[in-house]
A = this chain, B = another copy of it.
Amino acid sequence: MSKCEHCISRQLNSMKSLTKEELKRVSDCKTTKFYKKGDIIFDEGESLSGVFCVRHGVAKLTKLSANGNDQTVKLLGKGELLGQRSIISDERTNLSAIALNDIELCFVPKDQIIEPLQKNQVFSFDVLQNLAKDLRGAEGDLIDMAQKSVKQRVAQVLIYVEKEFGVDEKGYLNLVLSRDDYANIVGTATESAIRIISQFKKDHLISTQGKQIKIENLQKLKLVE
C-alpha cells in the first residue's frame, strides 16, 4: 500500500506539518476508499469518524436547500481534505460530499487528526492558516454571489475549473461537469446555465465537444458582464 509521504511530499495540505512519527501513524492506519461518479461520500447530518483526503479525482460539497435545490459550496481536488471542519468543531456535518468523477480517497480516523492537533503546534497552526484561507474564500464567494450576475458567475467558474483542474492535450477542461452541476455551483436554474453556456459558444468565448468544454477566449470571458 502506498504511504502518506507520497502525498505529503507534494506539500498538498496541512498534514505536511505532522512529525515523522505522527505521519507514520496516519499512514499505517489510513484506509483507501474508492467511489464512482455520483456516489455519496457522506451525507448531511452524518457524524464523521474521520477526515478524507483526495488522492485522485474531484468531489463536491453540497447542501440541499429548503426549496429542494442543491447548492454546491466547494469543489475539492487532489490533496484537499473533506470533513476537516466537522472533526474540529466536533459536530455533525452540515454538508454532503459527492464524487464528481471516479475518485480515490484516503480515510484517516479522527483520533489521528485530533491528537496532533492538540499536541503539535506546527500542525495546528498550519490547519489554522488553512481554515483562515478557506474562510476568506467563502466570504469572497458570498460577495460574488451577491454582486455578480449569473453570467459572470458562470464565466468565473469556467475560469476557476481551468485554473484549478487544468486542461487536456487538446485544451479541454479536465474536469467534466454537467450544465446542472454548473447551475448548482453558481446558484441558478439549470436552463439558465444551459442558455448562458450556449451563448458563450455563440460568442466564441468557449467551444464544446459533447460534454467537454474548451475556453477559447479567456480575456473576453473575464470581461463578461
Contact = CB atoms under 8 A, between A and B. Distances in A.
A124 to B, nearest CB: 5
Given A124-B128, A139-B138, A147-B187, A133 B89 contact: yes
B139 A95 contact: yes
Given A124-B125, A138-B138, A73 B143 contact: yes
B135 A125 contact: no
Interface in A131-150: 131-136, 138-143, 145-148
A5 to B, nearest CB: 25
Interface in A55-92: 63, 65-67, 69, 71, 73, 85, 88-89
Interface of A: 63, 65-67, 69, 71, 73, 85, 88-89, 94-95, 117-119, 121, 124-125, 127-129, 131-136, 138-143, 145-148, 186-187
Contacts of A132: 85, 88-89, 131
Contacts of A139: 63, 73, 94-95, 138
Nearest to A138: B138
Instruction: Indicate how many identical chains form the complex.
Output: 2
Closest 6 interchain pairs by CB? A146-B187, A138-B138, A65-B147, A89-B132, A131-B131, A145-B145
Contacts of A131: 128, 131-132, 135
Nearest to A66: B147
B94 A136 contact: yes
Contacts of A145: 142, 145-146, 187
Contacts of A136: 85, 89, 94
B129 A125 contact: no
B85 A143 contact: no
A146 B117 CA distance: 34
A89 B129 contact: yes
14 contacts: A63-B143, A65-B148, A66-B147, A73-B139, A73-B143, A89-B132, A89-B133, A94-B136, A117-B125, A128-B128, A128-B131, A135-B135, A138-B138, A145-B187
A83 to B, nearest CB: 12
